[in-house]
A = this chain, B = another copy of it.
Amino acid sequence: MKRLAILGSTGSIGQSTLSIVEQFPDRYSVAALAAGRNLDEAFAQVRRWRPRIVSMATEELAGRLTSRLREAGVSGIEVVYGTEGTVACSTLPEADFVVSAIVGVAGLEATHAAILAGKPVGLANKECMVAAGEILTAAARERNVPILPIDSEHNAVHQCMRVGRHQEVKFIWLTASGGPFRDTPLEQFATITPEQALKHPTWVMGRRITVDSATMLNKGLEIIEACRLFDVPPSKVRVTVHPQSTVHSLVEYIDGSILAQISVTDMRLPILYALAYPERPESNLTFDLAALRHLDFEEPDFERFPCLRLAYEAAEKGGAHCIALNAADEVAVEAFLEHRIPFTGIPDTIEGVLASTPEAHPATIAEVLAVDRQARQLAGTFIA
């Protein structure tokens, strides 16, 4: 029985994780929930799963949750809040496995604390690896703690990496859907609206990640994530545009063999893989190979998607540049969604911020967060 601490339990990955727990009651139980701001959902989850501890975003929300639990006759559950609360969840002694699924750098400290506490981590939070990958992977190596990727691409890579040794990997090929503007003429990019950018052809996702998918900055973050998770230089990570999103990624070996992972596009699959690794429980997430007809692959267009180039540049420099790439993009996407900058303003903002970011390699989470704040300020200034 693995007892889980789920950071970001009310989000999409958190809910999918709980549906896996529901499906495999003999394998998994819930020890801690870091729930954030959604009080109703947090209340429902606590009532259903009875964790030892639950964390809310603020003291006020924690107070309201405590009252509701008391009214409902639910007792014996510790309610905490804020970053300290999330860390209390991720380091809970009786938790065996931490699912890190808080969006953005907010989950960073708790994820780091979990690794320092020697807990295996299922990582759904891309920004953690991009902003603090050097710190997190160093800590994980030192304590021999596995970090299992919970996103379709890196999870696929993790699987394909098992068919050879690390030094035998020639390229990691991340597949990309290519987003909605794969075939849009370049001259129309400046006039792309938020409404157009929010339509993703394959996955239903949050607003920022959907726009990131349209600019392919999302794939850029994944390039950096792959470098950190799998300890390879950016030159070994390539992108192939695969509109069907059926092949989730590939690994090419030096002898000429390429391994690919195929499955349904359902996040429960990488979650289950991470939770159960190295086992594979039987699931109903069946891909109908007999129904597989065509798979297409294309080279990505670096002119159309300058964010890809910017990500490679940041990946090469590492440290502060990766933090700045992520922070600047988040600010720029928000500005784009609020019609303050055009679609092409997103890469322009990132490029501007990166140009003003000195090379540095933060050694602590506090330093990472400081660089993150600076980059956000820089991006704000650049946009204004």
Which A residues are closer than 8 A to B by beta carbons?
159-160, 162-165, 168, 171, 173, 238, 240, 247, 250, 252-264, 266, 269, 272-273, 276, 278-287, 289-290, 292-299
Contacts and interface: CB of A to CB of B under 8 A. Distances in A.
Given A252-B289, A289-B173, A289-B250, A257 B294 contact: no
A289 B285 contact: no
11 contacts: A168-B280, A250-B289, A255-B273, A255-B276, A255-B282, A255-B285, A256-B284, A256-B286, A257-B273, A294-B297, A295-B295
A159 B269 contact: no
Given A254-B282, A280-B165, A259 B289 contact: no
A280 B255 contact: yes
Contacts of A289: 171, 173, 238, 240, 250, 252, 258, 297
A159 B163 contact: yes
Contacts of A168: 279-280
Given A289-B297, A292-B297, A294-B296, A259 B164 contact: no
Nearest to A252: B289
Contacts of A279: 165, 168
A299 B290 contact: yes
A295 B258 CA distance: 14
Contact of A261 (B240, B258, B294): B258
A297 B287 contact: no
How many copies of this chain?
Answer: 2
A163 B162 contact: yes
B257 A259 contact: no
Closest 3 CB pairs of A and B: A256-B285, A254-B282, A255-B280
A contact face: mostly helix, strand, loop, or mixed = mixed
B263 A260 contact: no
Given A165-B278, A289-B297, 15 more contacts: A159-B259, A163-B259, A171-B289, A173-B289, A252-B287, A253-B280, A254-B282, A255-B285, A256-B269, A256-B285, A257-B262, A258-B289, A259-B261, A260-B260, A293-B298
A251 to B, nearest CB: 10
A257 B266 CA distance: 11
Contacts of A260: 247, 259-262
Nearest to A297: B292
A258 B287 contact: yes
Contacts of A247: 260
A108 to B, nearest CB: 29
Contacts of A259: 159-160, 163, 259-262
Contacts of A283: 254-256
Contact of A280 (B159, B162, B240, B254): B254
A159 B287 contact: no
Contact of A296 (B264, B266, B293): B293
- Which of A163, A164, A238, A294 lies at the interface centre, i.e. has the most chain B CB atoms within 10 A of its CB? A163
A209 to B, nearest CB: 23
